[in-house]
Chains A and B, each alone.
Chain A
């Protein structure tokens, strides 16, 4: 079994990879034109936003094996940052200012993540999950109680975006798509550099990785802060889109659970897995909520979909399929 790169260095871009990427970008751009309806644009926005968050969660939860359940805390922080800075229409001007503030919100979240991650990542696996979910509830409680900043249980309003109502969803959709491409670009970079190898080594056996000179703390902190930075930016876009936010929705454990489920469903530690997971679960969730009604009964159906796929494809959709293809190629190679 010879592969093309066996003699030289691993290529950074492959032709098939560029083709896939190009087609994906084209599809993202074309989607709102193909399906011209507000409810679909709304669905597309949420799907792409969650795909961006799943992709970024994948960096720390999938590659490094640190199952953070606290990402929604940063989602909420991003959301409240926008609510805090853009509650007056005067600053909005043409409506794009909140989007231009995203890099700052991202950097803010990344910096905040450094001490939190440094502390939380002294624990591992299930303990890390519990520590980070605690972080989420701490953030939620702060959301309720820091009334001067958040408005408490009364909620906080963001100025209405002055976009053309006929295509109101589109700017949000394209910004969410840009976040998704950013998250996927970073994931691709991680896979193609030694960072991916280091994160996988940390997931497999962190003590051993430390013992062979992998800078484990640096790599983990980097992955965690980049991951929550994108999540915070996604929260900011969401708040601007929704227009009015409350602590129980901005710091919602269901957000965390959704992005974790999407990543595991599609396949953790892969480039396309989280996107695939989001593309299946988000429409399913919305359709179920629509048909089964506003009660939370839809969550049962949502869980059922997840359980069925996990029963049939336990490692997630992509790794199971790729694993089968790999085994077939190996046995082919053994025969020839």
Chain B
């Protein structure tokens, strides 16, 4: 396996606070990698740095062998690097189907085309079917339940056929059945070749779905390895339970 994403000595400060501190790790192509750590350990900031939502102070991120320095989220998305947000950000005033179609992105010129082309519709229909959202396709995203929004956001980032998907707490606030649904979707897309990097607090989910696991504490990588090893690592226990 080769490295799809490489994070090297990444640092980000917010004033006096060092949110990400000389952090390094890599994500192997084809893996489902977890990024865990106590609250405030810098996981979401790392996501924002990788996906171009925040500029880093120093260090570098390489996606598929080339540096992502200076590239915005839109460019990275077109290259196959995409993410979801902790708060399930969907476009409230667009229908479920339109949420998927707009997430295909494109050039300014392509936005002069039909609102919903036949090709868009059939691609969206596949995902709607797969995520069991067909019956709500014409509802506005604002009319969905929390769990459905999580599913919709996940489905919409798959519209562009990405190579690497960063999921920020895919199971937060979601019922146990839906957690299983999420796990199933992640596994099946992984088998189809999509690499995942997942921030998650639900340890049983991480242990079942992810391998390897990267542990962050105060902006630094403190452990990396398979779930069992990481779970029994004294530094990890200390980070979660110590002071």
Contact = CB atoms under 8 A, between A and B. Distances in A.
Interface of A: 1, 3, 5, 8-10, 12, 191-198, 200-201, 203-205, 207-216, 218-219, 222, 269
A194 B110 contact: yes
A211 B51 contact: yes
19 contacts: A8-B121, A10-B116, A194-B111, A195-B112, A201-B91, A204-B92, A204-B94, A207-B53, A208-B85, A211-B51, A211-B83, A212-B102, A212-B160, A213-B77, A213-B104, A213-B160, A214-B105, A214-B111, A215-B106
Nearest to A202: B91
A197 B105 contact: no
Contacts of B101: 194, 197
A192 B77 contact: no
A12 B92 contact: no
B44 to A, nearest CB: 13
B113 A197 contact: no
User: By DSSP majority rule, is chain A's interface helix, strand, loop, or mixed?
Assistant: helix
B199 to A, nearest CB: 16
Given A211-B82, A218-B108, A200 B94 contact: yes
Contacts of B157: 212
Interface of B: 51, 53, 72-74, 77-78, 82-83, 85, 89-94, 98, 101-108, 110-118, 121, 138, 156-157, 159-160
Contact of B93 (A8, A203, A213, A218): A203
Given A194-B113, A212-B82, A219-B111, 5 more contacts: A208-B85, A210-B74, A212-B103, A212-B105, A215-B108
Contacts of B72: 210
A201 B91 CA distance: 6
Contacts of B103: 212-213
Contacts of A9: 114, 116-118, 121
A209 B113 contact: no
A200 to B, nearest CB: 5
Nearest to B98: A197
Contacts of B90: 205
Q: Which 3 A/B pairs are nearest by Cβ-Cβ distance? A: A213-B105, A211-B73, A218-B108
B91 A192 contact: no
A193 B108 contact: no
Given A197-B102, A212-B77, A214-B102, A204 B114 contact: no
A321 to B, nearest CB: 16
B89 A205 contact: yes
A44 B121 CA distance: 43
Most chain B CB inside 10 Å of its own CB: which residue of A3, A192, A200, A222:
A200
Most chain B CB inside 10 Å of its own CB: which residue of A9, A191, A192:
A9
Contacts of B160: 212-213
Contacts of B51: 211
A296 to B, nearest CB: 36
Contacts of A200: 91, 93-94
Nearest to B99: A201
B74 A215 contact: yes
B99 to A, nearest CB: 8
Contacts of A213: 74, 77-78, 103-106, 160
A216 B209 CA distance: 35
Contacts of B93: 200, 203-204, 269
B116 to A, nearest CB: 4
A193 B106 contact: no
Contacts of A215: 74, 106-108, 111
Contacts of A269: 93
A165 to B, nearest CB: 45
A269 B106 CA distance: 23
A249 B111 CA distance: 38
A193 B110 CA distance: 9
A201 B92 CA distance: 8
A191 B114 CA distance: 10
Nearest to B117: A9
